[in-house]
Amino acid sequence: MSYDLLLTGGRVFTPAGLVDAALAIQGGKIAAIGETGPAERTIDCTGLTILPGVIDTQVHFREPGLTHKEDLETGSRSAVLGGVTAVFEMPNTHPNTDTAQAIQDKLDRARGRMWCDHAFYIGATQQNAELLAEAERVPGCCGVKLFMGSSTGTLLVGDDKGLIAAMRHGSRRMALHAEDEDRLIERAHLRVEGDPTSHPVWRDRETALKATRRAIAAARETGRRIHILHVSNPDELALIAEHRDLVTAEVTPQHLTLAAEDAYPRHGTLAQMNPPIRGVAEREGLWHWLGQGVVDVIGSDHAPHTLDEKSRPYPQSPSGMPGVQTLLPLMLHHAAEGRLSLERVVDLTSAGAARIFGIAGQGRITTGFTASLTVVDLKARWTVGEAWLASRCGWSPFAGTELTGKPIGTIIRGQMVMWDAELQGAPAGEPLSFLETLKHLGAAGGALSHRPASA
């Protein structure tokens, strides 16, 4: 048998663990593990490790309306350079992505421009609850995102009535930004002009924990599966551990890597995000619960703003930082330092996302699955350089950081998209397919189904 692509000489992360084997790809899918034959293209991966494609389930690519910070092309370019094969993009754009038509607009914008595969959240509002059940099943939609506390943009459902109404309409796992809006308003006076160290004082641990308690109570009342985004307080993870039948959790590389004691003096408002970077004790608490298996996914919460915007005096400075390109390098570095295993990295960056969101044919290297792969050099020692960063915002708090472990190649549906920090070909990302919406693909005229890799 002949193949489109053959990867030889590398170690392949299979469901049985790492194996020394060739990996054959045909028609955009994994055709064989451990078999060789004639191939249109063969790549020598000696010294490299082939992982399931990295899926970043929280990015803000700012299109439409905020494209001076980022857009679908630049954000996805940044993603694939960092080894990411697919992203879930957030709805707090301008206008908000809060209708099925707005999701379709993003899908239309992405066609021929996004380098990686993608899906888009629909944002919950106080007015659109009755639309959510239908909209969340539009092919290319990854589900509903609800902001319990105010952050970038105008999406907000701050009260329990609106929260429960949104949860009652639909059935897919709902993603939540869990910060309590009433407490944020009550504590706004604690912000100190020009002092970003007051950010975690204002948006304190209880602000996050209170919202997570409310979210879990609403999930219990409605029977809705929920996903708590960017958890920053280990007390939240302790609570989530008691409700694992309904609740899953995300942690960001920023919250696992940075700590307030160093981040704000060093980076100032560049370290400002929602929920905030907290202290060393909170960071180590997150690591504890990650070790207990409570964290399901790592999401970057890639949220770029320009340097001019971030240079405004706190609290006029916006919250958020870029992160999609550094997600995998940071987690590989933590693995190299012994903080977690490679198996856990794969679970957090690929298999976990596929499992909890029901992504069809993704998250494992197995014959018949989509050939979306991330090739890494686990031993490479390198420094994150500004020239390597592709986000339009042009900065990262991790620029200049020395790391061990580097993405070398990004393969999406059998097509080489990035190799050795160089883009390959043209943008050809496609919408992801989800198990809960596969039956809707036919109604879409097949336009959103996976096309052959040669298309």
Residue 431's nearest CA partner among 45, 106, 174 is: 106
Residue numbers in the chain where pLDDT is lower than 50: 442-455
In this prediction, residue 207 carries a pLDDT of 98
pLDDT at 445: 40
Q: b vs e for 62-100, b when ≥16 Cβ sit within 10 Å of the residue's Cβ?
A: bbeebbebbbbbbbbbbbbbbbbbbbbbbbbbeebbbbb
Question: Residue 400: exposed, middle, or buried by beta-carbon count in 10 A (0-12, 13-18, 19+)?
Answer: exposed
Dihedral angle at the C-alpha atoms of 127, 447, 69, 233, nearest 10 degrees?
Answer: 60
Phi, psi of 236, deg, nearest 5: -65, -45
Predicted local distance difference test score (pLDDT) of residue 154: 74
Pick from 222, 116, 119: nearest CA to 161 = 222
Q: What are the start and end residues of each CATH 3.20.20.140 domain in the chain?
A: 56-357
CB 348 within 8 A of CB 357: no
Question: Would you state the pLDDT for residue 87?
Answer: 98
Residue 441's pLDDT is 52
Residue 322: φ, ψ to 5°: -70, 160
Report the amino acid identity of residue 216: I
pLDDT the model gives residue 152: 73
Inter-residue contact 184 to 202 (CB < 8 Å): yes
Active site residues: 301
Q: CATH homologous superfamily of domain 3-50+368-377+402-444? A: Urease, subunit C, domain 1 (2.30.40.10)
Distance of CA 332 to the CA centre of its chain: 16
Within 13 Å of residue 229, how many CA atoms lie on the same side as its CB?
27
Q: Tokens representing 450?
A: 């996976």
CATH number of 56-357: 3.20.20.140
The three-state secondary structure class of 55 is strand
Degrees (nearest 5) of the Cα angle 229, 232, 235?
A: 105
Q: CATH 2.30.40.10 occupies which residues in the chain?
A: 3-50+368-377+402-444
Instruction: Please give the span between the terminal C-alpha atoms of the chain, in angstroms, as a whole number.
Output: 21
Say what the pTM is.
Answer: 0.95
pLDDT of residue 27: 97
